[in-house]
Structure 1
Amino acid sequence: MSNEETAVPRLVAIDRRQLILRTVDVEKLVEQEHCVRSIWELVGRLDLRLYYAQIAAVEGSAGREHTDPQLLISLWLYAYSRGISSARELARQCEYEPGCQWLCGLQAISHRTLSGFRSDNKTALDDLFTQVLGMLSAEGLITLERVTLDGTKIKANAGGNTFRGREKIAAHLAAAREQVRVLNQPAEDEEQLAKRQGAAKRRAARQRASRLEAALREVERLQREKVHARKIFVARASSTDPEAHVMRNGEGGTVPSYNVQLVTDTQHGLVVNVEATTDAIDYRQLDPALERCEQKLGRAPRQIVADGDYTNHASVQAAATHGVDFYGSWQESWKPTAGDAQGRSGAFLSSAFPYDATQDVFRCPAGETLRHRAVLNRGHGVRTRVYRAPKEACRTCALREQCAPLGARPAWRRSVTRIEEPSATTAFKAKMQTEEARQIYAQRSRVAEFAHAWIKERCGLRQFRCRGRLKATMEATWACLTYNLMRWFSLRRALQAQPAAIG
């Protein structure tokens, strides 16, 4: 055999057991145009006094040094921009990911520090969100001339098997309180490590008891609210997240979730308000959304666009009260049919009776007059006017068999109703028939649904890490704050590239 056939190639050996001493230039970990630098610079321009005010350790006094809130804010914004919502994963990324290493200066950050900071101090987070909105408004990126309102279901940090009835929750609560009592009893000759472990156990027991107490209160509240709605109703609440409600998701299943409401400015698709709610439907959410805008932004938007789930008498009235021009998709609850539930058809249907507006009466097929007899108030300015025929006329009518239901009593007489809508609803329906209103409503899906898709896909917010409606709102606020900043950076790059493209 030749030397060429027997020769073994010489390769560089890989020794993964060796220890090396490497020089790292932190500033060169990320390039100058990296988004993490933009995040750090922008956060540095914000007023963080509400965050600094809660730090007890100050110069000249005892206490451990506190992690800079500017660093923690920047870390979470950068993490959400990369689809990371786990505090443990973010802590791991700080050990090797260049952007996180640059922010931390190669220092380690505890996942407990990250997790606690995200879900603490809602007032400071709301102020942070408002400051960013102010900066966006100053650059003309937010106008509040027209906004959209839409909701999406995001899974809660609770399983479906954690829902219990009142009796089981009460039993678990009694056991949890007993465990807290036992753990609180002082133990003699307890070592330092055992003391810390005991403190952790007592804290966990207290937290479980607190969640069970909240679950019991939620079950009792649900039972009171539904007592007249259903004859058979068993209220249940989650022992893990008592405020989470079972909701139907986009896949057709039902899971414990929160309904996250986003108000989005149509100018550039930026989110101006976010709130996690426990209502599975959007029917009652327009009025609270407008109130939040007035409270946090100082004024309500000029126009608001929402889909059919929000479009009802209450929403139209609320928009009119706030002085907001509302655009929506009205869904009529009644549709004409060939027959009614009583077996009547044709000219004997209530909708076929001619109405004389001058005399405020209806005429039946037999020529009898149905006069106004009663008014039923349905709320939100909607009234139902009831018209009835003379009792003797219906008793001797030749067309009674075609008009009266089967088994009708001799004293039965025909009645029809007419709904009187408030002027705001009448004006709304007339407006939505115009071409201009249809074009405005057509913008809804493009603007409203994009923000929801972004925070779910890009921020990874398909399930909350925190528990409770308040903390879920804070977590959604972090995601929306990240979305606004990434959109802002994108718009800036497009604006800077525009003169070069023209040249």
Structure 2
Amino acid sequence: MAEDSLFGALPEQFGPKREVGVGAPRLWEPVRDVIELRAASLDSLIGPDHQARLIWSYVLELDLSDLEARIKAREGVPGHPAITPRLLLALWLYATSEGVVSARLLARLCQSDAAYRWLCGGVGVNHRTLGEFRVDNSERLNRLLAQSVVALAAEGLIDLDTLAQDGVRVRASAGASSFRRRATIERQIADMLPVVAELAKEVDSDPVTNEQRLRKRRAQRAAERLSRLKAAVAKIEEIEARQSKKKEASAPQAAPQSQPPAQSQIPPPQDVKKPKPPRASTTDPDARVIKMPDGGFRPAYNMQVASVAGEQIVVAVDISTSSSDRGLARPMLEKINANYAKLPKQYLIDGGFAKNEDIEWAHGANVEVYCPPITNKHNTDPFAPRDNDGPGMSAWRRRMSSQEGKATYRERSIHECVNARGRKYGLVQLTVRGLAKAINILTLFALANNILQGARLRRIAAAAV
């Protein structure tokens, strides 16, 4: 059958046998002392549709003249040029979208990562400049957030008639063991006062430049420590005043009696548990120990986010130190009204926000609140009208008992996508201390979220044309 094959009978062939060498193996070894000349362009480091280009194009359109007005280096005047605020803002927006929350890490990425190097464009940045910019522009960041929402609404991409709100617990930059009673903090203040005075005296008397710089840094750290201790005492005084006011409001008013009750009619004294004295953190006085989603109690902040649920656009943010969301709907609505001069027609919140006074206030402002009722231990019908219901509560019970109201409330679940994106963007553990700095971290997240989600909405709208 060999002649029936295509090539007929071919002779069997054998290749030469490879001899096994006895010498050392030939390997590619790294050589790092070679000088190379490479021709590279920064613009070729990232693709044309890279996320960094999107953020930079957004920053280029902003009017940052108010930030540039603070710069002291001017033409014709001696001084080192300052880094443009556009670059610092773009770096933080892109870093936030990548989950980078540390200024030191961001400064290192500006030297090693292609996207950050492209944004810098050869401009060197350090962690101090980055950190100061992030915490010193609260009002400007809030205005940028409002402007991003107004721009999307003007394009017809979002509708502010239906909003949703939810809270996210974020761990504070303070240890659980940093909480002290007032007497302990006052002793620490007494110990720190002479230390701060001595360090300040050493800074003024030291003529050596390098040593003076180190002494000045130590004196600055001691002064910051003393400032935090005083802030902790002020926070304890605030808590004590709030507790005293609450105790006076809850104390029963004694009815006037014509004659003193008999000895047998006086009830025996009950064992009342004495409340623990309030404490404050000496690391972050604004932080409070609150209940976390896992059931534990840790120093944290309750970060509130209001959004257009369907489009996942954040319209306003706020921060509380309360473990509960109860009573936080009205402050957020007031902030929305202050930023946009209008209130939503429908407001979706979960049952933890439910408060009769807030629902009545919203009803008076023509805002329909959608939130499920709280399950009570008596197993009574939560939608049944009650004698003390006002017009707002009565309308809320009718609304939530209807199928239309329940269907509308289901839209609130889309807001969980915003919460999940916040975790991805680094809203897990704060690296800054203080309520004022924490709100900037939250606002940066909201602004970065709106830039990227706004681009997604524009692509969808363009594809639908």
Interval of TM-score (by shorter of Structure 1 and Structure 2) = 0.7 to 0.9
Partner of 1:327: 370
Q: Distance between the aligned counterparts of 1:190 and 1:272, measured in 2?
A: 54
CA contact (8 A) 1:148 1:266 kept: yes
1:50 aligns with 2:16: no
Letter in 2 for 1:467: R
Between 485-494 and 108-117, the greater mean CA deviation after superposition? 485-494
Q: Is the 8 A contact 2:167 2:303 kept in 1?
A: yes
1:192 and 2:158 correspond: no
Indicate the residue corresponding to 1:116 in structure 2.
132
The one-letter code matched in structure 2 to 1:469 is L
Match of 2:399 in 1: 431
C-alpha distance after superposition, 1:51-75 (max 9, x if no partner): 2222222223333211101001111
Q: Distance in 2 between matches of 1:426 and 1:479?
A: 38
SS at match of 1:314: helix
1:41 and 1:114 map into 2 onto residues whose CA distance is 20
2:340 to 297, 308, 311: 297
Please identify, of 274-283 and 18-27, the stretch whose mean Cα deviation from structure 2 is larger.
18-27
1:3 is displaced (CA, Å) by 5.6
Q: Confirm or deny that 1:462 pairs with 2:428.
A: yes
| Identity %, equivalent residues | 33
Residue of structure 2 equivalent to 1:143:
159
Corresponding position of 2:446: 480
- Aligned-pair distance for 1:309? 0.8
Deviation of 1:332 (Å) = 5.1
On the 8 A contact 1:95/1:106 being kept in 2, the answer is: no
Shift of 1:203: 1.4
Whether the 8 Å CA contact 2:228–2:285 is kept in 1: the answer is: yes
Deviation of 1:295 (Å): 0.8
- Structure with more strand by fraction: 1
Asked if 1:218 is matched to 2:235, the reply is yes
What is the root-mean-square deviation of aligned Cα atoms in Å?
Answer: 2.2
Moved more, 217-226 or 6-15: 6-15
Of 286, 290, 298 in structure 2, the residue corresponding to residue 247 of structure 1 is 290
The Cα of 1:121 is off from its aligned counterpart by 1.9
Q: 1:453 aligns with which of 420, 428, 433?
A: 420
Contact 1:223 1:233 in 2 (8 A): no
Counterpart contact for 1:94–1:106, Cα < 8 Å: no
Indicate if the aligned counterparts of 2:306 and 2:316 stay in contact, CA closer than 8 A: yes
| Structure 1 equivalent of residue 193 of structure 2 | 177
Residue correspondence of structure 1 range 223-242 to structure 2 within 5 A: 223-227=240-244, 228=247, 231-242=274-285
Higher share in helix = 2
8 Å CA contact retained: 1:46, 1:131: no
Distance 1:188 1:263, change over 3 A: closer
Secondary structure of 1:309's aligned partner:
helix
Q: CA deviation at 1:334?
A: 5.4
* CA distance, structure 2, for counterparts of residue 430 and residue 99 of structure 1: 54
The answer to which of 174-183 and 429-438 deviates more is 174-183
Per-residue deviation at 1:10? 3.7
1:202 alignment partner in structure 2: 219
Instruction: State how far apart, in whole Å, the 2-side matches of 1:461 and 1:250 are.
Output: 14
After TM superposition, the structure 1 = structure 2 runs for residues 399-438 of structure 1, keeping only pairs within 5 Å, are: 419-438=387-406
Distance 1:189 1:224 in 2: 45
Q: Is the 8 A contact 2:290 2:321 kept in 1?
A: no
| Partner SS for 1:114 | helix
Paired amino acid for 1:200: R
1:25 counterpart letter in structure 2:
S
d(CA) in 1 for partners of 2:295 and 2:169? 12
**What's the CA shift string for 1:89-124, capped at 9, x where partnerless?**
111111111111111113331011111111112111
State the distance in 2 between where 1:211 and 1:123 align: 24
Contact 1:312–1:330 (8 Å) recurs in 2: no
**CA deviation map 1:199-253 (0-9, x unaligned):** 2122111111111111001112212322428732210000000010111111121
Structure 2 CA distance for partners of 1:139 and 1:157, relative to 1, 3 Å: same
How far apart are residue 150 of structure 1 and its match?
0.6
Residues 245-267 of structure 1 deviation map (CA, whole Å, 9 limit, x = unaligned): 11111112111000000101134
Structure with more contact order per residue of length (Cα contacts < 8 Å, sep ≥ 6)? 2
- Shift of residue 134 of structure 1? 1.9
TM-score by length of 1: 0.79
The answer as to 2:265 corresponding to 1:265 is no
* Secondary structure at 1:6 match in 2: coil
Alignment-mate amino acid for residue 194 of structure 1: E
Distance, in Å, in 1 between the alignment partners of 2:437 and 2:371 is 31
From 340, 354, 357, the equivalent of 1:311 is 354
Deviation at 1:280, TM superposition (A): 1.5
Letter aligned with residue 431 of structure 1: R
Is residue 287–residue 434 contact of structure 2 (8 Å, CA) maintained in 1?
Answer: yes
Query: 1:9: how far off?
Result: 5.6
Matches within 5 A, 1:76-155: 76-155=92-171
Q: 1:67-82 residue pairs with structure 2 within 5 A?
A: 67-82=83-98
Deviation at 1:277, TM superposition (A): 1.2
| In structure 1, C-alpha distance between the alignment counterparts of 2:274 and 2:158, rounded to whole Å | 49
Which residue number in structure 2 is paired with residue 6 of structure 1? 21
1:158-210 C-alpha deviation (Å, 9 max, x unpaired): 01010000011111112222211111215545200112112212211111111
Letter in 2 for 1:287: R
Query: Quick one: distance in 1 between partners of 2:206 and 2:359?
Result: 69
Unpaired runs of 5+ residues, structure 2, are 1-16, 251-272
Report what 1:277 is aligned to.
320
- Per-residue CA deviation, residues 284-320 of structure 1 (Å, 9 max, x unaligned), is 1011001100111221112101011111211211212
- Tell me how far apart the structure 1 counterparts of residues 19 and 151 of structure 2 sit (CA, whole Å): 71
CA pair 62-130 structure 1, distance change in 2 beyond 3 A: farther
Aligned AA for 1:134?
V
* Structure-1 separation of matches of 2:150 and 2:110: 31
Q: How far apart are residue 50 of structure 1 and its match?
A: 2.4
- Match of residue 38, structure 1, among 51, 54, 60: 54
Question: Which amino acid counterpart does residue 372 of structure 2 have in structure 1?
Answer: S
